[in-house]
Amino acid sequence: MVKASKKAGVKFVLDCTQPVDDKVLDVASFEKYLHDRIKIDGKTGNLSASNVTITRDRTKLTVAAPADLKFSKRQLKFLAKRYLKKQQLRDYLRVVAASKNSYELRYFSISAGDEEEMEE
């Protein structure tokens, strides 16, 4: 009599709060980009067959995958960076790991370069 327990999956969060508040990034187009580009077993467009879901809040994207799938957090960072490059935002935004299972899109801090110009 072994109970069939539901396996816990992995959840990764992409927090886009800063760029969305400044109206620089559109979360809906970012979600569609991820939906079209995420590869599972080397194939794109294989999300629903593998029970991978992408949900969107106002400023956050959550990618949930079953634990036995071994979904890579690194793939999300790669795709986020490619999306930023495609939208020509890569020079202003970077993808930073906020915690073990989340990434955050942040602006580059440019204030350090201003101080050097003031000294000269």
**16's torsion region: left (phi>0), alpha (psi -120 to 50) or beta?**
alpha
C-alpha dist (Å) from residue 1 to 5, 8, 32, 96 = 12, 21, 43, 46
Can you give the pLDDT at residue 5?
46
- Distance between CA atoms of 85 and 114, rounded to whole angstroms? 25
pLDDT band at 7 (very low <50, low <70, confident <90, very high): low
pLDDT band at 112 (very low <50, low <70, confident <90, very high): low
For the chain, state the CA radius of gyration. 17
pLDDT band at 118 (very low <50, low <70, confident <90, very high): low
Which DSSP letter does residue 37 get? H
**Pick the residue with more confidence: 29 or 5?**
29
Largest CA distance in the chain: 77
pTM exceeds 0.75, yes or no? yes
C-alpha dist (Å) from residue 65 to 9, 26, 50, 68, 84 = 5, 23, 8, 9, 23
